[in-house]
Amino acid sequence: MNSAASAGNSPEQAPDSTANRFGYQPGLDGLRAVSVIAVLLYHAGFERLSGGFLGVEVFFVISGFLITSLLLEEHELHGRVSLRAFWIRRVKRLVPALVAVVIAVASWVALFGSPAERSSLRRELPWSLLYGNNWGQITGATPYFAAEADPLRHLWSLAVEEQWYLIWPLVFVLIARRIDRHSATHRIAAVGIAAVAAVSIIHMIVTASADGPLLRSPIGWFDGVDRLNFLYLSTTTRAGGLLLGAATAFAWRPWRNHAKTHRLTGRAVDIAALAALAFLLVAFSTAELTDRSVYLWVLPLTSVSSLILAAAVSHPDGRIIGSIASIPALVAIGRRSYGLYLWSWPISVAVGAIDGSFVAFGLAMAITAVVSETSYRWFETPLRRADWSIGAVRHKPIRLAATSGLFALTTVLTVVFVNVERFDPFQGDDVAEFDASAAIDPPPSPTSPEIGITTTTTISTTTTLGSPRLGDDAPSPATASTDMITSTTSTTTTTLAPLASTRLAIVGDSTANALAVNRPAGISEIYPTLVNRSRDGCSVFDSGRVLTDASFRNDFARCEGWQNSWSRAASESDVVLVVIGAWEVFDIADGDTTFVFASPEWDQHFVGNLRSGLDLIVENGARIGLLEVPCMRPVESNGTTLPPLPERGDDSRVAHVNVLLSLVAQDYGPTVRFIGGPDAWCSDESVSTDTSLRWDGVHVYGRGANMVYEATANAVLRLAAVPL
């Protein structure tokens, strides 16, 4: 979120009394202030401003409009545009603040960060310094919407704008060669640029409305990346606002008229601007970033509303909106919006002001105001005004010392992070050896009776159950409402013996990933192929968010397309082991609906989503094992930034999910089975609380994974022997 030329006395924003000049427009800084306030409140986690992220789009439109207006003016005054001077001004204005923030964050993380945070920052630093942060997040393993609060996550918007500042002046020069001072040629250019903006917007809309994976054209290079990440972060989907601002600059230049426009025109400008402002305020308070509607129509309308406002505040007769946007306090905030945006997010992360706490937000903003103003006055402004050529630096002792110190600190931090080892919380140092002879029953001898499995399915609208521990084939006593399942009774007998080996695929959330990553030595004896198709943070939901007593938020909209992972797993294996449960123990808010855990509505919602994935596996010809959800004992851990979520430690919630899994398995027949895990997760506290087995009481390490593999191997191999 660059402030383009908002900072005080930059050459591009210097006041100009000439009537025909664009000059300094304080109203644009006022619009920036409104936008940055919305973004800061959104970053703070206030749900009443869930659409504050749209403030970034307002910045994009303003930047496109402002920069293009200034380039046009330079071209008309001098007959040319100095690209070298343009880019030098951009570097001097924008780079010092970015470097200051990156150095501060890197120093903080190097001194106080966890191994996971240092490992994450090691990857993010190059992307951030090279203004490619948005593409780094798109192609990275951690999506923008992950629960982990990356302190450099917000730099994606700077990357989009800097890519714009690099490419757009080159395009402008080509356009400028074909226009003259006549308004007709300017209108033609405006129409052409608006058409390109429309292509970007349509690209976003089509990508958002398409079913399944990302469209192969024109983004086939990124096939397989998170679609929501791509929609929100990519330059191609977010260029529409910048281009609309540029098109407006060609078509809207009322300050060039010496005579005042008609009063009716001024009224029309104010009415249109106030309507646009009203739309933005409503959108700021109601939009949800992960809602598909944002990309189908809210973002496009935000772009249009923003360009109306930008055009209105730069109109000589836009009196009402001009006076509102030029309020001195707003202008002062707007002139500092770049620094406020840069510093506020990492400071908010450091003090924990991202969960809707007014006290924490006030503290974070107080620190941000002091730090950003100090940086602006004593670091950014001197660097912008100074001559940093080698000759000038060499003859200025203070400048030389400052340059040397900055270079030395950067070098030290570079060495520190280059030597940071990749941290994977899913992988422990413990070594486990799978014992096939102990885990698998021997095949029957010719004289022994055949091994038979008899499954009796009894599903009624209300089932009485008791302990949280469930057996392999039938629920044990507890109470669970299963009103959404039709009452049926059937008996199926299958005679089989375990196979020697089978191809196994594991799907599910991060607990599935932990199980797949921590496969023990020797497991290939029974699973020569073991495929990991898990998706961290994603269960069987692709909309809504968890409701929890802890200070935490996980939005399932980023899990769109999880069924495709299950379908792919089925095509690669004989048995698909479904490992879920960590996200199924919560109440869920989905739009205006709240699904209260264990209510008939929640049960129906969960089972319906689960079956949508199971049906795809069945269609692709694989058997399915629904792994029992273990009793969880969540604790604080360096391996994750998630707090211990109390709902996961509630054994009655876990038991209810297991009842539903068992009933669903029985409803499918012999090729789908509920498979019990290790008894000790629920029966032995010394095992269930051992962090060498599960680093956070939820996700297994090597020996913990081996316990699961040994407990389930026989059932999985028997399942593989069931004919389809």
Asked whether residue 546 carries a pLDDT value surpassing 60, the answer given is yes
Q: Residue 5: what pLDDT?
A: 43
pLDDT (tens digit per residue) in 309-341: 999 988 877 778 888 988 999 999 999 999 999
Q: Residue 393: what pLDDT?
A: 57
- The closest of 593, 687, 556, 579 to 633, measured between CA atoms, is 687
Query: How large is the average pLDDT for residues 177-187?
Result: 74
Q: Of 181-185, 224-228, 455-459, which range is least confident?
A: 455-459
Asked whether residue 464 carries a pLDDT value surpassing 50, the answer given is no
Residue 487 per-residue DSSP state? P
Asked whether residue 606 carries a pLDDT value surpassing 80, the answer given is yes
Q: Of 48-62, 96-110, 233-247, which range is least confident?
A: 96-110
Q: Residue 614: what pLDDT?
A: 96
Asked whether residue 493 carries a pLDDT value surpassing 70, the answer given is no
Q: Residue 218: what pLDDT?
A: 41
Q: Which residues contact 517 (CB under 8 A, 6 or more apart)?
A: 424, 426, 427, 532
Q: Residue 323: what pLDDT?
A: 87
Q: Domain segments of the chain: what residues?
A: 11-385, 455-721
Query: How large is the average pLDDT for residues 447-459?
Result: 43
Distances (CA, A) of 164 to 191, 245, 386: 19, 12, 26
Q: Residue 666: what pLDDT?
A: 93
Beta strand 503-508 with 529-534 is: parallel
The whole-chain average pLDDT of the chain stands at 82
Q: Which residues contact 325 (CB under 8 A, 6 or more apart)?
A: 26, 27, 28, 30, 31, 34, 309, 313
Q: Of 343-352, 551-560, 693-702, which range is least confident?
A: 551-560
Distance from chain centroid for Cα 303: 22
Taking each helix axis as running N to C, give the angle between helix 26-43 and helix 337-351, from 0 to 180 degrees, rounded to the nearest 10.
10
First to last CA, the chain: 56
Q: 665: pLDDT confidence band, cut at 50, 70 and 90?
A: very high
Q: State the CATH architecture for 455-721.
A: 3-Layer(aba) Sandwich (3.40)
Asked whether residue 346 carries a pLDDT value surpassing 80, the answer given is yes
Alpha-carbon span 292 to 556, nearest angstrom: 12
Q: Residue 119: what pLDDT?
A: 82
Asked whether residue 597 carries a pLDDT value surpassing 90, the answer given is yes
Q: Residue 341: what pLDDT?
A: 95
Q: 592: pLDDT confidence band, cut at 50, 70 and 90?
A: confident
Query: How large is the average pLDDT for residues 656-684?
Result: 95
Query: How large is the average pLDDT for residues 106-130?
Result: 85
Beta strand 545-547 with 672-675 is: unpaired
pLDDT (tens digit per residue) in 13-33: 433 444 566 677 888 999 999
Asked whether residue 443 carries a pLDDT value surpassing 50, the answer given is yes
Buried b (16+ CB within 10 A) or exposed e, 234-251: bbbbbbbbbbbbbbbbbb
Q: Residue 99: what pLDDT?
A: 87
Query: How large is the average pLDDT for residues 156-171?
Result: 94
